[in-house]
Each structure stands twice: as structure tokens, then as C-alpha cells.
Amino acid sequence: MSISFSQELLICTLVLLLVPLYFYIKSTSRSKNPAVLPRSWPIVGVMPSLLANLHNLHDYLTVVLAGSGHNFRANGPPGTGMRFFVTCDPENVRHIFTTNHANFPKGAEFAMIFDIMRGSFFTIDGEPCRRQRAKIQSVLSSPHLLARMTACCLDKVENGLLPVFNHMASIGTPFDMQGLITRFVFDLTATPVFGVDPGLLSPDMLPMDRAVAMDTVMEVAMFRHAVPASCWKMMRRLNIGPERKLAAAHTVLRGFITEMMERRKQENEPAAVGNEGAANSSSVDILSSYIDDPDYQDDGLLRATLINYMIAGRDTIGTTLPWVFYNLAQNPRVVALIRNELSPIASRKAAAAATGAASNMVVFEPEETRPLAYMKAALYESLRLYPPGPIERKTVVADDVMPSGHEVHAGDTLFISLHSIGRMEGVWGKDCLEYNPDRWLSEDGQKLRYVPSHKFLAFNSGPRMCLGKDIALMQMKTVVAAVVWNFDVELVQGQTIEPKPSCILQMKNGLMLKIKKREM
């Protein structure tokens, strides 16, 4: 939709008003705690406060929500339609995601914000969403695909990740764990999607432009959430600011999808010429489930769906694992307890293994780590404090009343702060800011306590509960078990660890660690 001259004039006027307010609030917010509620300024509403705190938005929202009873309202400039209700109240979350979920879809503006995935499962609601969800459930429940994903994970850990760690341990040089995990998880996600390994985690250490492009999608999406739609649309039209960067990222991602589809076609051709069994064996990938599906013959929808799979798989695991190792590096007691769980398994494997292995490192099978309650608790505790998707956005279809008593009106935008839910004393107790896996365990420590999804929202809740949850946990446990058993990890002192302004909770400056091979 084109922007009229009057709309452009309004936007320019708002920008002139916003700029001085933005810098004023930014300068004052560095030295003072935020007020209980963001200040609503004449004409421009809360936009200056939001923009001034965009660099640490999730912590800012946590402070505000803690001081306002877990809920607050905010408005943007008049005429922009920016009417927000922000919550971290678990009862409100249950109402939004489960009890009355049909009244709170993602909405059309959400689909515009994530336009690279428009039409795919991530951006749609209602019956189209249910159909695509059923398709994903069918794809991800395939025993052949699950076996391939498991084999891919084990291979990538044993022959990709551990050798790199072994090298880093031998030279004693600090390295960026987040950057390395990004490479690992990009390959881990793309290989079962396309049936082809992109090779980011390889001896050549190929450029990370594709992974960076995915990061850009999430960073610019955060900016789009925070400003009026007319503002970012004008920037897109003029190809300036974050929109210029996003356009370049879209080009990279679409080129990546085209390249991977072509590589898959080429690598499958020899098998197809040979025998039917070989061809079928080589086609155990997600793309094969879609490429001949009549519902996905539209090239744009197929590409959006493949990007959806890449972002969903990469961002959950790739964002969580660095925070897991950040927490483990500071909690040697937790590391010791995980090793205690792994020790009987490692002993059995050592007794059964052939001697003279080149690396003498242990890799744990998913079946071996599945019953380990403490390791899972350690992962859940990281997910509680550092959810990979720290914020959710919904739209109100019809007027409603939240369980908290707050009224919401048709057209309002709801923001649910997952980051804040995990840090509320009223939800998790006085030690809510501490990393403590024990909170997840039964009294005997043998199994996990039940925690409802509206309190622990890392894997979503209600009809949109994450279908890849078990796969993600399997992959993360495989990585954590191998690293924790074979290496000691040390946090490099003096670095600043904080999230970047993004729709995923990546570390702004990476995570510098030193690693040492364990003596066993």
C-alpha cells in the first residue's frame, strides 16, 4: 500500500519531535532506574521511552512490569494505531494463549513485520494455521526423518564441534562460543531441511553471511515492533536505515534457499539414476515433504516455509546453548551434578569402546540422555531466565477483559514478555534471578516437577505449542552432555554479557570462553 503525502508529512513531523525526546530520555535513563511506567509524552506517547530503551528493552520491561503489578498500558502517537497492553501475568498468558486464543491472533501487522516468512506457519492464524500445523506435525513425526536428524546431530557433535573444541583447548586461546554455536546449529538445521550440509562448521569456516542475514531479520523486526508501521514502511520505500539492511538480508536468504534447493537436486540426481532404494534413502529431508505437495506449488510460499523451518530450528537451539554455557561456566556445582548423571553411561561406553580412538572423547546418544532429569532441569532453568524468543506479540479481535481485570479493546496490540515472566518474584519466588536447576526437580531429585506452559512459555502454549520441542531438547542435551563431560569451560573475565536488541535473545558481544580438556 502506498503512503500518501499527508502521511509522509505526519511521519516527518513525528520524527522531528521524537529525535530530541529520544536523546533526552536516553541520557537520563543511563543513570536512573525507569519509573514504574514509561512516561507518556504529548503527541508522541511512549515512543521516546521505548526507543531510548530499545538497546535493553527486555530488562527495561522487566523492571516496569515488576513495578506495575505485571501489567501496563501504553500508547504511541495519535493516529498510528499504537495501543499496547504489556503483560507477564501467567493467568493473562493462559487466557491469551489457551482459554480465548481465537480472540488473540498474531494479526496482519505481525505478518507484515516478518514479511520474509509471510504465508508460512509462523505468520498465519485460523484454519490456514491449523492446516500447516498438521503438515508440520506429519513431517516431524516421520521415523526416517527423526533418525536422520539424530544421526546428523551426533555426527556434527563428534566430527564437527568436539574437534574444534579440542583444538581450542590445545592452543588455550579464548574464543566466541556464540559464534561457534551459530555455525554448528546453522548446519544442524539446514542439513535435515534440505538434505545438504551448508558447511559453516567445517575446516574452511565459510563466511557467516547467511546466519547474519537471519540475525538481521530478527533485529529489524524488533525495530518494526517499536515504531509506527507507516514509519518503517516509508523507510522501506526509500531504502534507508534498518530497512536497507533488511532488504540486503532478504536477498541473501532467498539466494541461500535457491542455492540449497539446487544443490539438493544435483546431489540426488546420481541416486535417482541408480536404484530406487538409493534415491529414497537420499531424500529423507523436510524439503522432500513439500516439493511435490500441491498446497506448496507457489514458489513464494515454499521458500517462506523453508526459511520458517531454518529460523525456527536455528534460533531456538542456537540462542539457548550460549546462555546454557554462560550459566554452567559460573556454576561448577551444576556441572558436577550433570557429570554425576553422565558418569555411569560414560563408564559403560568406555568399557565397550575399542581402544586407540583418535580423540578419546565420549559422545552420548539421545536414548542415553533422555532419562537424565538434572540435565534437563539445567536446560529448563536457562530457558526460564533466557528464553530464545523473549517477547510475543498478539492482536485483539474483540473487546475482552483479562483475568487481571484489565480491559483490552479490538485493535489493541498485546506484548507478552517471556523474559519478564521468568524474573518475577511473584511467579518464581525470591530467588527468581538465581540460576537454580533444583527448582525444577521433585523432592527426591529423580524427576521434573510439572510447571504449566503459561508460567514457562519457552516452547509456547496452547494450540501453538512448539512441535519441535522434543527435537530441540534432544539436540541441546547431546551437545551439553558431550561438552560438559569432555571439557572444562571457563568464562573470560571483564566482558559485558547483555542481549542485543532483537526478537531473539542473542548476546550482543558474543560469549568469550576458554576451554580445557578434562583429565579422566
Q: What is the pLDDT of residue 354?
A: 55
Lowest-pLDDT choice from 37-46, 78-87, 140-149: 37-46
Closest to 201 measured CA to CA, from 175, 181, 219, 178: 181
C-beta atoms surrounding 53 within 10 Å: 22
Q: State residue 488 phi and psi, 5-degree precision.
A: -100, 135
Q: Report yes or no: 54 and 25 within 8 Å, Cβ to Cβ.
A: no
- Domain boundaries defined on the chain: 5-517
Q: Report yes or no: 491 and 515 within 8 Å, Cβ to Cβ.
A: no
Q: What is the CA radius of gyration of the chain?
A: 24
**Is residue 32's pLDDT more than 90?**
no
Q: Which three-class secondary structure state does DSSP give residue 513?
A: strand
Q: What is the pLDDT of residue 44?
A: 63
Alpha-carbon span 382 to 66, nearest angstrom: 20
Exposed (0-12), middle (13-18) or buried (19+): which is 344, by Cβ within 10 Å?
Answer: exposed
Q: How confident is the model at residue 197 (pLDDT cuts 50, 70, 90)?
A: very high
**Is residue 439's pLDDT more than 70?**
yes
With cell 526437580, the residue in question is 441
pLDDT per position as a tens digit, 170-183: 999 999 999 999 99
What is this structure's pTM?
0.89
Q: How many Cα atoms are found within 13 Å in the side-chain-facing hemisphere of 7?
A: 14
Contacting residues for 66 by C-beta, under 8 A, at least 6 apart: 420, 423, 424, 425
Residue 402 or 40, more confident: 402
What is the amino acid identity at position 343? S
Closest to 327 measured CA to CA, from 171, 476, 451, 503: 476
Cell of 288: 522432500
Q: Report yes or no: 218 and 182 within 8 Å, Cβ to Cβ.
A: no
Q: What is the pLDDT of residue 228?
A: 86
Q: What is the pLDDT of residue 37?
A: 67
pLDDT per position as a tens digit, 496-516: 999 999 999 999 999 999 999
pLDDT per position as a tens digit, 232-274: 999 999 999 999 999 999 999 999 999 999 988 887 665 444 4
**Is residue 41's pLDDT more than 80?**
no
Contacting residues for 159 by C-beta, under 8 A, at least 6 apart: none
Residue-wise over 238-264: b if at least 16 C-beta within 10 A, else e?
A: eeeebbeebeebbebbbebbeebbeeb
Cell of 248: 540486503
Contacting residues for 498 by C-beta, under 8 A, at least 6 apart: 56, 507, 508, 509
225 strand-pairing partners: none
Q: State residue 392 phi and psi, 5-degree precision.
A: -120, 145
- Positive or negative, the CA dihedral 14, 19, 22, 28 is negative
Q: How confident is the model at residue 280 (pLDDT cuts 50, 70, 90)?
A: very low
C-beta atoms surrounding 361 within 10 Å: 20
Q: How confident is the model at residue 480 (pLDDT cuts 50, 70, 90)?
A: very high
Mean pLDDT of the chain: 87
41 strand-pairing partners: 45
Name the superfamily (CATH) of residues 5-517. Answer: Cytochrome P450 (1.10.630.10)
Alpha-carbon span 429 to 127, nearest angstrom: 39
Alpha-carbon span 384 to 393, nearest angstrom: 19
Give the pairing type, strands 407-408 and 512-517.
unpaired
Please give the average per-residue pLDDT across 475-482, as a whole number.
Answer: 98
Q: Report yes or no: 479 and 157 within 8 Å, Cβ to Cβ.
A: yes
Alpha-carbon span 201 to 291, nearest angstrom: 27
Give DSSP secondary structure letters for 466-487: -TTHHHHHHHHHHHHHHHHHHE
Give the pairing type, strands 413-417 and 83-87.
parallel
Q: State residue 227 phi and psi, 5-degree precision.
A: -120, 160
